[in-house]
Amino acid sequence: MAIGAALYAVFSWFFNATVFVVPSLSQVALRPAVAIPMFFGYAFGPVVGFFTGIVGNTFGDAISGFGLSPQWSVGNGLIGFIAGLPALFSDRKRSANAVLWIGGVLTALATVLYFMNSSETNMMFFDPARDVYGDQPIALTAGISVLIGFILVLAVRFGFGKNVDVAAAVTWGMLGNLIGIGYAALSDIWINGYSFVTAIVGEFLPAAGPNLIFAAILVPLLVVAYAAVQKQSGR
C-alpha cells in the first residue's frame, strides 16, 4: 500500500508538474501513472488499490501545488478498488467479458452525449494572440478519447485472450477508470455547480479517455513483468 501510494504520488506529481494539459473544462493532465493503482489493485487486492489511488493522488496533487480535490482523490481510489475486484470471481474470464459489455455501454453513452453537445467550451484553452480565452469547443480528440481507449482495451482483451491475467487486469482497470472518473466528474455538479452535460463532456471524457489509452498500453506490461518476477522467485 505504501509503495503503491508513493509511486503514484511521485509520478502524478511529475506529469502534473510538466503540465501535459488535456483540453477540458478544468485542469486535466495526461496521467500514464494511472496504471499504478490499476496494477496494484489487481495484483494485491481492492483495499491496496483503493489506498494507492486515494493517497497517491492526494499527495501528488498536494506537492504539485494544484490544491486538493477530495472527490478526484476518491475517484482515483475507486479506480484501484474496482481493478482489484477480479479476486472475488472464480471465473475471471467470464467476469471480464461481462465487464467489457458494461464498459461498452458506458462508452457509447458518453460518446453519444459528446456528439450531441460538441459545442461544450474548453475553459483551459487560451490563445491571447487570437483573442481566445477559454471559449473554444472541446476538441474532437478529447471527445472521442474514451471510444479510442475502449477500442484499445478490446484489442488487448482479445489479443491476450489466453493470458487471463492481462485480460482481466485491463478490463477491470477500464471499468474502474470509467466509474472512478465518472464519480469525480459528477461530484462537481454539486461541488462546482456544473451541469450534467458539462461534467461529462467537459471533465469526464478528457480525463477518462487518456486514462483508458494508458491502461491498455501500460497495464499489460506491468502484469507481464510482475508475472516474470514471480516466476523467477518461484512463487
How many residues are recorded in the chain?
Answer: 235
Instruction: Render pLDDT for 146-155 as a digit per residue (tens, 0 to 9).
Output: 999 999 999 9
What local confidence, expressed as pLDDT, does residue 68 receive?
A: 76
Per-residue pLDDT for 141 more than 90? no
Identity of residue 185: A
Give the global pTM.
0.85
Tell me which CATH code domain 2-233 carries: 1.10.1760
What local confidence, expressed as pLDDT, does residue 107 receive?
A: 96
Average pLDDT, integer, range 9-24: 60
Q: Which residue ranges make up each domain of the chain?
A: 2-233
What local confidence, expressed as pLDDT, does residue 125 receive?
A: 46
Instruction: Render pLDDT for 51-107 as a digit per residue (tens, 0 to 9).
Output: 999 998 888 878 776 667 889 999 999 999 999 999 888 888 888 889 999 999 999
Per-residue pLDDT for 108 more than 90? yes
Angstrom distance (rounded) from CA 194 to CA 207: 16
Using alpha carbons, list the distances in angstroms from residue 1 to 31, 52, 53, 169, 224.
Answer: 20, 6, 10, 18, 20
Angstrom distance (rounded) from CA 208 to CA 122: 16
